[in-house]
Amino acid sequence: MNEETRAQQRERYKEELKQSKSAIKKGLVIVNTGNGKGKTTAALGQVFRAWGQGMRVCILQFIKASTANWGEEKAAHRLGIEVHPLGSGFTWLSKDIEKDKRLAREGWELCKQKILSGAYDLIVLDEMTYVLTYGWISWEEVREIFDRRPEGLHLIVTGRDAPPELIDYADTVSEVREVKHHYLKVKSQKGIEF
């Protein structure tokens, strides 16, 4: 975290502005990865912003099972944003790998429908990196669907250990690095962790 001077900030902003004038508009593939805690949270912030702009949003969650207790699910329902929990809870604690694998495949079928439907401007594929890492869905299959998506559709993929092919394919990749975290000292709290 080297400190940026005021002059450097000014230069950076001018440069970004100049470059953006010769740029194109397109549907983006955004990846939030890394071992920090803000990956899904950042995607939800994007949802919030997009919803504010009147965009049509859909959230597909690979790992989380449905529970009325998640703050994001409550918020999405209140806003009329679609949320589809595709998982069976915290997958990596499951005793039944075959069942998790089947759920992930079924979940991906729903993702494909949603991505190709033309009904959305932004789709969040939350915690999707895990199913790629486990090899339950191949990158080739995912790439083919991403390539065929309607023009202008933005996709956000979250999760640890994003595969290099996905990073290479994406327009924007952010890595959230955990500098420190309170979970060892403080309980999970409503509105913060869930």
Contacts (CB under 8 A) with a second copy, residues 53-82: 53, 55, 70-76, 78-79
Q: Amino acid letter at 148?
A: R
Active site residue 102: no
Instruction: With contacts defined by CB under 8 A, name the span among 13-21, 101-109, 112-120, 137-145 that binds a second copy.
Output: 13-21
Name the residue nearer to a second copy (CB basis): 23 or 147.
23
Instruction: Pick the binder of a second copy from 41, 66, 119, 139 (CB under 8 A).
Output: 41
**Which strand (E) or helix (H) includes residue 74?**
helix 71-79
The closest of 181, 173, 180 to 33, measured between CA atoms, is 173
CA pair distance 164, 139, nearest whole angstrom: 10
Q: Beta partners for 154?
A: 122
26 is catalytic: no
Binding mask 100-139 for a second copy (x = CB under 8 A): ---------------------xx----------xx-----
Mark whether 37 is an active-site residue. yes
CA 122 – CA 155 distance, rounded (Å) = 6
- In angstroms and rounded to an integer, the radius of gyration of the C-alpha atoms of the chain is 18
Catalytic residues: 35, 37, 39-41, 49, 90, 92, 127
